[in-house]
Chains A and B, each alone.
Chain A
Amino acid sequence: MQHRYIPMTDEDRQAMLKTIGVSSSDELFADIPEPVRFTGELNIKPAKSEFELKKEMAGLAEQNSHTQSHTSFLGAGVYEHYIPSIVDHVISRSEFYTAYTPYQPEISQGELQAIFEFQTMICEMTGMEVANSSMYDGGTALAEAVNLSAGQTKKKKVIVSKAIHPESLDVIYTYAKGFNLDIIEIDHQNGLTDLDQLKAELDDDTASVVMQYPNFFGQIEPLEDVQSLVSEQQKTMMIVSSNPLALGYLTPPGEFGADIVVGDAQVFGIPTQFGGPHCGYFATTKKLMRKVPGRLVGQTTDDEGRRGFVLTLQAREQHIRRDKATSNICSNQALNALASSVAMSALGKQGVREMAELNMKKARYAKKAFESAGFETLYDGPFFNEFIVKLNKPVQELNEALLQEGFIGGYDLGRDQEQYDHHMLVAVTEVRSKDEIDQFVSKVGELNG
């Protein structure tokens, strides 16, 4: 059958075989030794026509509850936000999405400049001097930051707050194994990292201290105090994972002396899509510029003196340094970095603050509404757009019931730490209306019994 994605006709085939000097294409595969040839038919479903397959996929999609069918209060690292329509229109320009990595700058200025702008915006948001062109996601960006700190300081001990995203913590462990790092976890109290314990663990052997700001519970860690502890050790680095939207309101980690700031730009223009692809970012001080993993775009000029952009400082990367590279990352999340750039351009200087504040105000309204309805909520400290509600029954059970009522409930904190059985982490972003919040609180009240 002539498939719509394969233009070769029988006539083409005959002409090409003739030029090559073989009588059939099988001869081109003759160097595959007999014993390793596959002679059966691949056991996958037969081809479907475009119309039928689209229909099937739409049916599969409709089996899922999603944010257009349900009202969601689920966050925990992945959030439903306002995505300006222009974002998808820009990333749907096929000059962007069907291009490879911009290896040929003369015909890749569009992509290169877009990434340069992305790097600039990430620097602005985080208060850092250097940002790369993206990482896979916030979790692996954090794990790479940990590895960078160990390589840079030549120390093996890394202190990690247990109030970071639990899956990021897991990823840190997996990545650290390659370098035999020693990970020390610090507990939290009242929703904040226990600084006394941190102080006790910090010593001359510590490569870095890892914090999340706002942390997994939505609370704002006192980075100023953390920094003053960390700075007592000459070499120890401070690594901060940050939701970049929160930095529209919060003082950026760069101003507290962070050495590396990472996180996920999903909050800017990227749909939740079941957890990926999102867009990790990686920002550092100038001092660490030559240790940064992944691609960096730099500004330069062409032969005529015109401003232009190129991939630069490539001596860090796998295709040049091979086994001595600072990381093995090659493909990254470029198209999502573009999406985030468009969203950040749309929001602009005022919009990011406005959006951050809307999140905070609506979350505070929701927290109070839960309290007025008789729920115990945690914690009392300053927070961003998430807080904890204590329930009478397992969160999972309640969430199943909420689905029937048109809601996607919050995150089940008990799945990570037993002390949080029956505790739901509720996220309220700018897209939730007062009515939706009121109805959610009342429905949770009803179902909670």
Chain B
Amino acid sequence: MANEQDFPVIFELSKEGRKGYHLPELDVDDFNLDDEFQKQYIRQEDPDLPEVSELQIMRHYTALSTRNHGVDSGFYPLGSCTMKYNPKMNEDVARLPGLSSIHPYQPESSVQGALALMYDLQTSLSHITGMDYVTLQSAAGAQGEWTGLMMIRAFHEANGDYQRTKVIVPDSAHGTNPASATVAGFEAVTVKSNERGLVDLDDLRRVVDEQTAALMLTNPNTLGLFEKDIIEMAEIVHGAGGRLYYDGANLNAIMGYTRPVDMGFDVVHLNLHKTFTGPHGGGGPGSGPVGVTNELAPFLPKPLIAKTGDEQYFFDYDRPHSIGRIKPYYGNFGINVRAYTYIRSMGPDGLKQVSESAVLNANYMMRRLSEEFELPYDQHCKHEFVLSGKNQKKMGVRTLDMAKRLLDFGYHPPTIYFPLNVEEALMVEPTETEAKETLDEFVDAMNQISKEAKEDPETVQEAPHTTVVDRMDETTAARKPILRYYRD
């Protein structure tokens, strides 16, 4: 299968007898293990892991890293993902042995520093969102959504409202919203957006009824637009007995300007790996804390971190109405440490500046790009905006082609074909950590591509031209899946 010009997988570097490790000595009496086990429980064939030297491993992964684009490599305006700078200081702090080398079952007296950090992070996030309680347990946004919905479910059930089986999500919502609704045992019901890109209030009134458990909303929504009818929406949902869920993936737009609680939300999850600089790690790990108002607090997952009168922190397991455990231990602590370090680096003014700059950067780019690209919803955006590649499509150049062409300019493209309610969508989120010069250069590249679409469409259609591989045959990948390496 492998051909000459293929970049090797690590198994192809393997040679019998090579080693990349040096384990501690066996300094106790040797022991014949095989005597203890029935033969069928002793592994007969060793796992076929690579046998490589330390330098070979280092070169292999270094070479792989050069075949990858991160925020430190270049601009990464991937909408809805908040690809901001990941401060290096956070990485140093998270690696302190007192934070990285502690065990979840150590006596509480021996982890007071860690508990104090978690407690203060919880409190800070409470203030940022206005929620009464925050749990740091969920591992990512999607798990936060599910956790929040399970709490809403428990709340309704505690009120005897067993008929509340439906969760409403806008058609522009992120895919995890309806998926989380299903996993929490609800039926997901779609509410339409109107011609201004906002939730259609009439449609909302139509779908809300006594079966409504909750409305899930991202505000600003995935088009980057603020749902300005939020007060009416909250009234409609609350009036019918439902609860309001805030998908905080887009919090970067509003810190210090409004809080989910001010807008009438009852539950919120935050993506610390977005707004609060947790690095994305090529797909994770993240952290998705959940905040709730007092009425939902009894249902929070176990355990909570609490404080005694004399400033001793402890895990509170005595929570009879809790939805239970959602994850072993206490959440993705290492990511929470990074987020906490970030919040402490910014302070209240800094966080407000973050949102101001993020919104200003986005509006600036949107205005500049709207000269060449169709802007389906022409109004001020928040931290991100969505363009349509409709004009270019008429010339035979699709959004996908433009995204691929951007790779030649050294950029990670915007999110494409999402949200679903915009044709040929390009969703751009610059974040506040990018300089104006970078935004200008990106706009120039986009304009250049639009020009190419008119004058030389093939250059765009056949892009990328400079990457280590060309476009991939994704159809065959899905039709005849090869999900692991096999030796010839």
B109 contacts which chain A residues (CB < 8 A)? 400, 403
* A277→B174 CA distance, assembly (Å): 24
Contact residues in A for B142 (Cβ distance below 8 Å): 318, 328-331
Asked if residues B65 and A95 are in contact (CB atoms below 8 Å), the reply is yes
Of A197-205, A231-239, A248-256, which stretch is located at the interface?
A248-256
A residues in contact with B279, CB < 8 Å: 97-98, 335
Taking CB atoms, residues of chain B closer than 8 Å to A41 are 256, 348-349
Q: Is A82 an interface residue (CB 8 A)?
A: yes
Residues on the A chain within 8 Å of B58, using CB = 86, 89-90
Contacts of A44 in B (CB 8 A): 124, 127-128, 343, 347-348, 351
A348 to B10, CA, bound (A): 11
Question: How far does the Cβ of B327 sit from chain A's closest Cβ, in whole Å?
Answer: 6
Residue in contact with B139 in the complex, picked from A106, A277, A289, A360, CB distance below 8 Å: A277
Interface residues of A in 356-414 (CB under 8 A from B): 357-358, 360-362, 364-365, 382, 396, 399-400, 403, 408, 411-412
18 contacts between A and B (CB under 8 A): A38-B256, A46-B347, A64-B99, A78-B104, A86-B57, A104-B404, A171-B326, A174-B150, A174-B325, A178-B146, A273-B102, A306-B470, A308-B472, A324-B182, A333-B281, A333-B284, A365-B28, A400-B107
Chain A residues with CB below 8 A from B484, complex form: 116, 119-120, 123, 129-131
Q: Is A439 engaged at the interface, CB distance under 8 Å to the other chain?
A: no
A272 to B100, CA, bound (A): 6
Docked-complex contact B89 and A50, CB < 8 angstroms: yes
- Interfacial residues of chain B within 18-50, with CB under 8 A of chain A in the complex: 18-21, 23-24, 26-31, 33, 36-37, 40-44, 46-50
Closest CB of chain A to B374's CB: distance in Å? 18
Q: How far is the CB of B55 from chain A (nearest CB, A)?
A: 9
In the bound complex, what is the Cα–Cα distance between A82 and B474 (angstroms)?
39
In the complex the two chains form, is A178's CB within 8 Å of B150's CB?
yes
Residues in B neighbouring A99, C-beta threshold 8 A: 68-71, 280-282
Instruction: Say how far A224's CB is from chain B's closest CB, in angstroms.
Output: 6
The answer to whether B7 touches A307, judged by C-beta atoms less than 8 angstroms apart, is: yes
Instruction: Please state if A303 and B471 are interface contacts (CB–CB under 8 Å).
Output: yes
A248–B310 alpha-carbon span in the complex (Å):
48
- Say yes or no for B293: interface residue by CB 8 A criterion: no
- Nearest A residue to B93 by beta-carbon distance? A57
Which residues of the partner chain B approach A341 to less than 8 Å between Cβ atoms?
Answer: 10
Q: Are A47 and B349 in contact (CB under 8 A)?
A: yes
17 additional A-B residue pairs with CB within 8 Å, beyond A86-B54, A430-B23: A5-B84, A41-B349, A53-B89, A64-B102, A90-B62, A131-B483, A171-B325, A173-B325, A178-B150, A178-B185, A224-B40, A274-B111, A319-B418, A327-B179, A334-B282, A338-B281, A403-B110
Instruction: Tell me, rounded to whole Å, the shortest Cβ–Cβ distance linking A285 to chain B.
Output: 12
* Contacting residues, chain B, for A344 (C-beta < 8 A): 49
Known contacts A93-B62, A174-B325, A306-B469; is A47 also within 8 Å of B71 by CB?
no
CB of B241 to closest CB in A, whole Å:
21
Q: How far is the CB of B69 from chain A (nearest CB, A)?
A: 4
Q: A329 CA to B103 CA in the complex, in Å?
A: 26
State the interface size on chain B (CB cutoff 8 A): 208
Q: Is the CB of A299 within 8 A of B140?
A: no
Residues of A within 8 A of B396 (CB): none
Q: Mark A56-95, 1 if CB is under 8 A from B, else 0.
A: 1111111111111100101011101010101011101111
**In the bound complex, CA of A115 to CA of B9 (Å):** 11
Are B333 and A276 in contact (CB-based, < 8 A)?
Answer: yes
**Taking A8-B357, A31-B380, A325-B179 as contacts, is the C-beta distance between A20 and B363 under 8 angstroms?**
yes
Interface 9-residue window, one of B201-209, B386-394, B431-439, B444-452: B431-439
In the complex, the chain A residue whose C-beta lies closest to that of B277 is A5
Q: How far is the CB of A438 from chain B (nearest CB, A)?
A: 10
Q: Which of A132-140, A154-162, A187-195, A441-449 lies on the face that meets chain B?
A: A132-140
Q: Which 3 A-B pairs have the closest CB atoms?
A: A275-B329, A61-B98, A335-B281
